[in-house]
Chains A and B, each alone.
Chain A
Amino acid sequence: MITRAIEEASKVILGKDHQIRLAMVCLLARGNLLIEDLPGMGKTTLSQVLAQVFGLSYKRIQFTSDLLPADILGVSVFDKDSGDFTFKAGPIFAQLILADEINRASPKTQSALLEAMEERQVTVEGNTRSLPELFFVIATQNPSSQMGTYPLPESQLDRFLMRIHLGYPPAEAEKIMLMGGQGAVSAKDINTIIGPSDLAQLQSQVAQVHLSEAVVDYILRLVHFTRQRGHFLCGVSPRGSSALARSAQAWALIDGRDFVLPEDVQAVLPAVMDHRVQISSAQFGRSNDKASELLLSRVSIAG
């Protein structure tokens, strides 16, 4: 079922199987996704495709520097007819939300979204309203070196289960896209493969995937490695380690297994870890190096 969903999604987003898989892992693991890339790489398309494939209600919020929290959460408006205030729900009351260019908005607005992500409820004018059971945020951000951005602080980055990069498409895929021939399909055209109720069931299955002691030890070794003095600016939080475990479980589920292999952990490791820790430049020359590369090449799998 999931394989078919991936196939369906790859019809639109060509040559990005791995990223689609990771996005689905994120969805299954009830996490939120951060896509970081240059404009025009298909970030928006990916989120549309996901919403379509899973049949989720979809809203898109374009973050700008003048966006206010109320624009996201909604406001109470005075209704002349009833003489009462009625709540006009903001775009956040949807199942899948695309927060486009999140780092263009002010930190105040960013934190409104992030709090909603974390709590799965919003409080507007003293009334607490809960968000839909299925709630998934895909935030996109431009590389922070671009003009007019408020980079997300580490504490907020930590709230995203994964961060992925899309990258340039392979040449053949781009060719098909440009030719606009048979292969090219637009996001609107694809079918819903997994309904929202099936998705909820899959999400609950993730937690059932068996995590053997050997794998847990491997995760602990990875985490401990980041916490050792010298390698990184700061270590991974316990939230980070549970994110790694959950993502690995979801990856195994997508792979059709009911138990986790170290390879699952390794597959999700770059997406889960790279935005959480930063290599300390004092130890390893270039701080641009990915934390995951270091972890994958230095931490032993066998106990």
Chain B
Amino acid sequence: MNKPVIDGLPRNIIVFLVISHLVVVFPHFSTHSFWVLSLVSLCLVWRIGSSRRNWPLPTKGVRFVLVVLGFAAVYRAYGTVIGPLAGVALLILAYTFKLLEAKSKRDAYTVVTLSYFVVATAFLFDQAFSKALYLLFSCVVISAALISINQPSLQWKHHYKNAVLLVLKSLPIMVILFLFVPRVESFWSIQFDNHQAKVGLSDEMSPGDIARLGENDSVAFRAKFEKEPPPPADRYWRAMVLEDFDGKRWRRRDGRQSWGPLLQSDQDAAKEFWTAYKTWFSLNKTRQQGNYYRYDVVMEPSDKPWLFALDWAKPLTGGIDMKNGFALNAEKPIREPFVYKVESLDLTGVRQAPNWMSREFRRDINLQLPTSGNKRARQWALELREKAGSDKAFIAQVLSHFREKPFYYTLKPPLLGKDSVDQFLFSTRRGFCAHYASTFTFLARSAGIPARVVTGYQGGEQSSLDNYLLVYQFDAHAWSEVWLPEQGWVRVDPTAAVSPTRIEKGIENALGSSSSFLAQRPLSLLRYRDVPALSRLRHSMDYLRMLWIQKVVGYDGDLQTDLFRKLFGSSDLKTVVFVLVGSLIGAILLIFLVELYANRPPRASPEQRIYLRFCRKLSKRGYEKGFCEGETAFAQRVSSSSPELAEHVLRITALYIQIKYRPAGLVKNGNNLLVRDLRKQVRRLSV
């Protein structure tokens, strides 16, 4: 038979360990599966039961079963027992099992070490500022558990106080390690699958898609401008261009899954196009054509590769491509907050379409229409084109049609059937930007004008803190571009015709006080934009997050090299090691000095300082006052062996004793007089 296992750990240590376990595992609750978590909870309940109600701890056989169950639960959840997610799940299980079987101080130390490690793994999945704060808090809780193992007799308040002090003292070291430890790129480039679905634009658009984003109040990205941001009506953030229409959906031209080169068949042409674009851009820039903007975009993870920029954009950060339709694309889907620098030229007024652009322009693609369907709309467009006489006049007439007929801008449009364009144009007449953009592009193509749909964001809230714009998911927008031979691509936003407020003042004003905006999110701070204090709070919170993304999460090998160059003039290995070791020693020394200062002896009183001077004088004669020797005894020792000093030394000692040990005199400032006398006497003493 198995012998019952005896629990040798004091109860209060168990309490501390269980609390730190809960705190450490809490951030993993959302990521891990039900089976793993129930196994963890079972072990915790067992542990608490054994320390409170003297339940027996698991025997060897039971522990074996638990380990097998653990592996099974992880395999069931992730289909594997390797890889980041499964690995972390196994680590958490191992940590829990160790806590369950801990019965000696040594085990408790192991548990504490493991919990520090589990804390670090939480960073693999989420690197938000709030998470960092929480992990710092976890470190305090774990350190308190560690202190409780070493000093079990103290009260819990002392444990936590000491733990806070300990963590605070370690902060400078943390900062130094963060700044100066070389970044090992290969290790951190492991791909961590984020199972959380990200919101954002997709590379397809059917009427109603973007309306769904209209309910979402999370930040899509922020743009920090070096100077003034553009006026609201010009804030068109291009994300991608959709050119294929199948009667219902608009798709990207180069395939649904594609973020390959511009012209997949022709690498040289892509390069040529790219060079031509850059030359054209810098030419316009030097000629000071249009409005020039330079800004950093701090983007939230979207799980998609497309980036956002004002027209016409040129990326200043490496690893960004320009894709079909002058949209910016990253090499990989954006899974972590991402920062990039862009410059843009708003050339709305410029007439001439450059030659290279005309050459790239492919008329057939931008006239493509499904072979059948929406007959009424096609017919209507053709007739209107004929009546209008020119492309420009046609566009103007379509827009005024939208403006004058009872079209409405709404987040809740009625569902459309088979001939969606016909239905929208002639009967429902209620829609969101996607409806208008889609319908307008369809009409233009039907009339023989090359046109396409552009999606992205429109607008952005100016932050009260800095020159930066906050662009939310509900700012998602779709508009059209038409090709006019003398001007090139020209932006036409039919939504502006229906609801000018949407473009000028943002969606929340366009929807008016009907309160349908963010109706499902009563707690969203965005609903209370009118309250300046709340707005400032919201902006400050986002600013903090932006700084965090820019300065901490975005701090990579390149920025580190820059920092080293700026601070130390070089970034070779020798400098790095020297700086790292040097600053660590400096920080430890600093912490030590602070400790020393905090525990310094109280400041000496004036008479004590004078007496010390007196002692120093006598020490020149070889008389050292022992620290256990009284003043009188010392004076007598001195005067008996150096009688010539006796009178003076005894007088000084008598004075000092009078100040130090006698009751304070009745005379006001009596002591001050004595101190003055003492100082004079000590000054006169010559040895």
> Are B661 and A260 within 8 A (Cβ)?
yes
**A56 proximity list for chain B (CB < 8 A):** none
Interface pairs (11), CB distance under 8 Å: A215-B661, A261-B657, A262-B631, A263-B630, A266-B630, A296-B628, A300-B627, A301-B631, A302-B627, A303-B601, A303-B602
Q: 6 closest Cβ contacts across the A-B interface?
A: A263-B630, A262-B630, A210-B663, A212-B661, A300-B627, A259-B662
Contact code string B68-101 (vs A, CB < 8 Å = 1, else 0): 0000000000000000000000000000000000
**Residue A127 lies at the interface, judged by CB distance under 8 Å to chain B:** no
**B contact residues around A297 at 8 Å (CB):** 628
Are the C-beta atoms of A259 and B630 separated by less than 8 Å? no
Decide yes or no whether B185 CB sits under 8 A from chain A.
no
A214 to B605, CA, bound (A): 12
Bound CA span A228–B661, Å: 27
Cβ–Cβ contact B628 & A212, under 8 A = no
* Whole-angstrom CA separation of A54 from B648 in the bound complex: 40
Interface size counted on chain A using CB atoms at 8 A: 19
Cα–Cα, bound, A302→B605 (Å):
12
Instruction: Return the CB mask of B616-645 against A: 1 if under 8 Å, else 0.
Output: 000000000001111111000000000000
Q: Which residue of A lies closest to B662 (CB)?
A: A259
**Interface bits A241-281 vs B (CB < 8 Å: 1, else 0):** 00000000000000000111111001000000000000000
Number of A-B contacts (CB under 8 A): 43
What residues of chain B lie closer than 8 Å to A298, measured between beta carbons? 628
> CA of A261 to CA of B635 in the docked complex: distance in angstroms?
13
In the complex, whether B660 has a CB less than 8 A from a CB of chain A is yes
The residues in B between 541 and 599 inclusive whose CB is less than 8 angstroms from any CB of A are none
Provide the bound-state CA to CA distance between A212 and B631, in Å. Answer: 14
Q: Which of chain B's residues 645-665 have a Cβ closer than 8 Å to chain A?
A: 657, 660-663
Q: In the complex, what distance in Å separates the CA atom of A296 from the CA atom of B628? A: 6
CA distance A214 to B661 in the complex (A): 7
Check: A299 CB closer than 8 A to any chain B CB: yes
Measured between alpha carbons, how far is A260 from B663 in the docked complex, in Å? 10
Residues of A contacting B629 in the complex (Cβ-Cβ under 8 angstroms): 301
Chain B residues bordering chain A, tally (CB within 8 A) = 15
A262 to B657, CA, bound (A): 10
Residues of A within 8 A of B663 (CB): 210, 212, 258-259
| Beta-carbon nearest neighbor of A210 in chain B | B663
A212-B662 in contact (CB<8A): yes
- Report A-chain residues with C-beta under 8 Å of the C-beta of B601: 303
Whether the Cβ atoms of A210 and B661 lie closer than 8 Å is yes
Most buried by A among B601, B608, B630: B630
How far, in whole Å, are A136 and B633 apart by their CA atoms in the complex? 32
| Residue picked from B608, B628, B631, B663, most chain A C-beta under 10 Å | B628
Cα A261 to Cα B659 with chains together (Å): 12
Shortest beta-carbon distance from B658 to chain A in Å: 8
Q: Given A261-B657, A263-B633, check contact A301 B628 (CB 8 Å).
A: yes
Complex: A263 Cα to B660 Cα, angstroms = 13
Contact A212 B660 (CB under 8 A): yes
Contact with B along A285-303 (1 / 0, CB 8 A): 0000000000011111111
Contact B661 A300 (CB under 8 A): no
| Interchain nearest-CB distance for B362 vs A (Å) | 90
- A258 CA to B661 CA, complexed, in Å: 10
- Look across to chain A and name the residue whose beta carbon is closest to the beta carbon of B629: A301
Q: Which residue of B lies closest to A252 (CB)?
A: B661
List residues of chain B with CB within 8 A of the CB of A299: 628
- In angstroms, how far is the closest chain B Cβ from the Cβ of A273? 14
For B612, the closest partner residue in chain A by CB is A302
